[in-house]
């Protein structure tokens, strides 16, 4: 993946009828089937709920790498790669910010950055 691309703020979809929020956004609200889905930027500082340090992965991945689940005030929960300068400082509950990074091919990749 190209690590040089700038991180951009991810956009979730919030149902105008029932308020449930999904990332990635879904074309029809899974809760109430509403189709008026509004963009919500996920800008809040979230909480890393859990993480894993992967030591054996697919051949094309450099190990170790970190994945984590994080929850955000906008109402979404995200599983994404975690970027941190210090593996030792990783802990459940640390603050994280969510970004997406454009790639040469495919959908933008979500990234959790430890603050």
What residue ranges bind other proteins (CB under 8 A)? 1, 20-23, 30, 49-59, 61, 64-65, 67-69, 71-72, 75-81, 91-93, 106-107, 109-110
Q: Which is nearer to other proteins, 30 or 95 (CB)?
A: 30
Least separation in angstroms between CB 63 and other proteins: 9
Least separation in angstroms between CB 76 and other proteins: 6
- CA 33/CA 9 separation, integer angstroms: 26
Sequence-ordered list of residues with C-beta below 8 angstroms from that of 3, at least 6 positions apart, any chain: 101
CB 43 within 8 A of CB 11: no
In angstroms, the Cα distances linking 23 to 26, 78, 82 are: 8, 7, 17
Q: Which is nearer to other proteins, 9 or 103 (CB)?
A: 103
């Amino acid at each position: 993946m190209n690590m040089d691309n700038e991180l951009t703020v991810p956009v979730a979809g919030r149902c105008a009828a029932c308020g449930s929020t999904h990332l990635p956004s879904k074309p029809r609200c899974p809760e109430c089937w509403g189709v008026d889905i509004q963009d919500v930027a996920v800008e809040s500082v979230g909480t890393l709920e859990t993480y894993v340090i992967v030591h054996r992965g697919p051949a094309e991945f450099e190990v170790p790498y970190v994945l984590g689940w994080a929850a955000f005030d906008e109402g979404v929960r995200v599983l994404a790669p975690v970027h941190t300068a210090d593996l030792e400082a990783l802990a459940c509950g640390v603050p994280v910010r969510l970004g997406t990074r454009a790639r040469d091919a495919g959908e933008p990749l979500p990234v959790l950055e430890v603050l």
